[in-house]
Chains A and B, each alone.
Chain A
């Protein structure tokens, strides 16, 4: 009993890590721009594909060993994915923001950008699935009755590290303070001499870079890639971010793990087809009871 609980816990932590990493991206952008970046799930998918090409290139063309290839793939993936995110921001969102367009139009644009990413991938690479190459050999440890792989540990560790770093960045650095300031008052911030656009770009770099990292780790853990992989995970991670209280980094992290835990527990006790149903129902109930999420602060309307 304890063993199966621990086993499920580890699975939940790993599965939740992906949600948490993607949810962090949603929450960062939302916190700064109050924009739901609906393209974020697809940026995660693009990240996984970039990782695929980078890893294949490093392994076959350059003939590097697995570890060296991984060391090369991580920065390349993160940088290129961050560039995709920033490009979207520059081309699609910024002009709208400059015009002072209704927030809804930016959301629609984001939704459409996601579709474009998804389907241009499908159009260029075709519908066939891609198998991600093995970069590092899977080591399986048996501790008691619990099975842990080195990948499990790596994913959980990396996610926790990212969280700590991000938390430090947002609470301790000047950039982080500027980010929080923007989320309070977008109009006062430029008057205080903070370069609004630079901060927004940094936010997109952070968010998309993390999505790229998540894409890489996801591809290593579940080495089958397809263009629609980002959509469902993206929607769910977004919901996780909202359940945690969107705009709050702790909330995104917690929401991601909560969602991971719910899904793993459902699969452990029920037929796996019920996974989405129960996960979404739990989230709906949480949101109905606590409309602003676990960490969210209710925006009071002043009259």
Chain B
């Protein structure tokens, strides 16, 4: 009984606690935004782990897909529900924003998934280092395209998302962003976990370990690659959309290779092919960034240095390939997450 329902109990109560404390303003705005960024980082690192960990590719352009999601959901939300310089009056009654918001984020994710084809299709023929270049190029192409569209602000960026959130809060005064970040974060891990633990999804690990054997043993490798790349970039797009609405402002400069590198750091810190590792490292990494904030630019010397040192002594990351349940088998008695 406990095993079966513990996750069903823990997650809602955790979410409820978060929402309650946000509502009662027990947490400061700063703490709350750090928690929300933590959620976004969990989405980013676990989705990249699907490609870099489970599938064994080396994608360094995750921020590009995040950027697509962020822009699509921001533009869509503002066009539909907010008064804006670019789009003029809202297209729909802002009262509907409260219902449409999750769909807006999802559509951003779908757009990013389609952008994922930019990498998925070349991956049929190329692997490894060559694919890494393609992902870098894809990241630059996405950023550069947006910089060149002057009507949505170009490199200056785009804003107005706070007004969408505002009209949601007008209808029901709830901390909407923490709620949705929490839901999407849990949803992401849940989707990924189900995917990689199904026999279907294990085809991805088969590709990682021996692509020739996978194809010969009837795994449709091209299809699996397409699905995995699209899922990974789609989830990154969702993360990007949430990121944009948390900050209330997007500009291409936030999604450069540096951001992609940040996500890479989280994936390898946690361990390739371990979802719980990715979650753990995203939490740790976000904390670390905030902890080292007073150091200013030295932060970006210390974090890479720590990773370099870690690579020397524990290159497989915190968790390696294992999940939480593999390290503490007793935990398995208390929860089941599927």
B315 contacts which of A105, A287, A291 (Cβ < 8 Å)? A105
A120 near B301 with CB under 8 A, answer: yes
Contact among B118, B129, B141 for A277, CB-based, below 8 A:
B141
Report Cα–Cα, A30/B133, bound state, in Å: 14
| Contacts A108-B264, A108-B268, A274-B148; A303 near B212 (Cβ below 8 A) | yes
Contacts of A123 in B (CB 8 A): 296-298, 301
Residue-wise, chain A 257-271 has the 8 Å CB interface mask toward B (1 for contact) of: 000000000000001
CA distance A122 to B298 in the complex (A): 9
Q: Given A102-B315, A108-B268, A274-B148, does the pair A287, B304 have CB atoms closer than 8 Å?
A: no
> Is A8 at the interface (CB under 8 A from chain B)?
no
Tell whether, in the assembled complex, residue B300 and residue A284 are in contact, meaning their CB atoms are under 8 Å apart: no
Count residues on chain A whose CB falls below 8 Å from chain B CBs.
46
Q: Cβ of A60 < 8 Å from any Cβ of B?
A: no
**Contact present for B308 and A109 (CB under 8 Å):** yes
* Residue A116 at the chain B interface, CB threshold 8 Å: yes
State whether A112 and B126 are in contact (beta carbons under 8 Å apart), knowing that A235-B257, A284-B134 are contacts in the complex: no
- Flag if A284 contacts B137 (CB, 8 Å): yes
* Cβ contacts under 8 Å, B300 to chain A: 115, 118-119, 122
Contact between chains at B304 and A113 (CB < 8 Å): yes
Of listed B144, B145, B305, B308, residue having the most chain A CB within 10 A: B308
Residues of A within 8 A of B303 (CB): 115
Q: Is A283 an interface residue (CB 8 A)?
A: yes
Q: A120-B301, A122-B297 are in contact. Are A235 and B136 (CB under 8 A)?
A: yes
Residue of B nearest to A288 (CB): B122
Q: How far is the CB of A285 from chain B (nearest CB, A)?
A: 10
| A113 touching B297, Cβ below 8 Å | no
A112 nearest CB neighbor, chain B only: B304
Query: Which residues, 143 to 178 on A, are CB-close (under 8 Å) to B?
Result: none
Q: Do residues A239 and B137 form an inter-chain contact, with CB atoms below 8 A? A: yes
Cα–Cα, bound, A109→B313 (Å):
12
* B195 on interface, CB distance cutoff 8 Å: no
- Given A115-B300, A120-B301, residue A291 in contact with residue B132 (CB < 8 A): no
In the complex, per-residue mask of B260-297: 1 if CB is within 8 Å of any chain A CB, else 0: 01001100100010000000000000000000000011
Asked if residues A277 and B148 are in contact (CB atoms below 8 Å), the reply is: yes
B125-160 Cβ-contact flags toward A at 8 Å (1 or 0): 110011011101110110011011000000000000
Contacts A277-B141, A280-B141 given; does A287 touch B126 at CB 8 Å: yes
B71 at interface by CB-CB < 8 Å: no
For the complex, is A2 an interface residue (Cβ under 8 Å from B)? no
Q: Do A291 and B125 have beta carbons less than 8 Å apart?
A: yes
Nearest-Cβ distance from residue B157 to partner chain A, whole angstroms: 15
A119 surroundings in chain B (CB, below 8 A) = 297-298, 300-301, 304
Q: Is the CB of A239 within 8 A of B133?
A: yes
Nearest-Cβ distance from residue B277 to partner chain A, whole angstroms: 15
A63 at interface, CB cutoff 8 A = no
| A36 cross-chain contacts in B, Cβ below 8 A | 129, 132
Q: Are B58 and A107 in contact (CB under 8 A)?
A: yes
Cβ contact within 8 Å between A277 and B144: yes
Name the one of B118, B122, B298 contacting A291, with C-beta atoms under 8 angstroms: B122
Kindly state whether residue A253 has any CB partner on chain B within 8 Å: no
Whether, in the assembled complex, A226 has its beta carbon less than 8 Å from a beta carbon of chain B, the answer is no
Chain A residues, Cβ within 8 Å of B126: 287, 291
Give the chain B neighbours of A280 by CB distance below 8 A. Answer: 137, 140-141, 144
Closest-by-CB residue of A relative to B154 is: A273
B130 touches A291 (CB 8 A): yes
Cβ-closest chain A residue relative to B150? A273
| In the complex, B312 has a CB within 8 A of chain A | yes
Q: Complex Cα distance A125/B197, Å?
A: 50
Check A287 against B308 for contact (C-beta < 8 Å).
no
Q: Which residues of A contact B58 (CB under 8 A)?
A: 104, 107
Distance between Cα atoms of A95 and B126 in the complex (Å):
29
A15 within 8 A of B: no
A105 and B147 alpha carbons, distance in the complex (Å): 33
Does B224 belong to the interface (CB within 8 Å)?
no
**Complex CA–CA separation, A271 to B148 (angstroms):** 10
Q: Which residues of A contact B312 (CB under 8 A)?
A: 92, 95-96
Instruction: With A96-B311, A242-B133 as known contacts, state yes or no: A111 contacts B264, CB within 8 Å.
Output: yes
Tell me, in angstroms, the Cα distance from A119 to B292 when the chains sit together.
Answer: 14
Docked Cα-Cα span, A239 to B135, in Å, equals 11
- Is there a chain A Cβ closer than 8 Å to B307's Cβ? yes
Chain A residues proximal to chain B, CB less than 8 Å: 30, 34, 36, 92, 95-96, 99, 101-102, 104-105, 107-109, 111-113, 115-116, 118-120, 122-123, 231, 235, 238-239, 242, 246, 271, 273-274, 276-277, 280-281, 283-284, 287-288, 291-293, 301, 303
**Interface residues, chain B, CB within 8 Å of chain A?**
58, 60, 118, 121-122, 125-126, 129-130, 132-134, 136-138, 140-141, 144-145, 147-148, 212, 257, 261, 264-265, 268, 272, 296-298, 300-301, 303-305, 307-308, 311-312, 315
- What would be 13 A-B contacts, judged by CB atoms less than 8 Å apart? A34-B129, A96-B311, A104-B272, A112-B308, A115-B301, A239-B136, A242-B130, A274-B144, A284-B118, A284-B138, A284-B141, A288-B121, A303-B212
Q: Beyond A113-B304, A115-B301, A277-B144, list 8 extra A-B contacts (CB 8 Å).
A: A96-B311, A108-B307, A111-B60, A238-B136, A239-B133, A242-B129, A277-B145, A277-B148
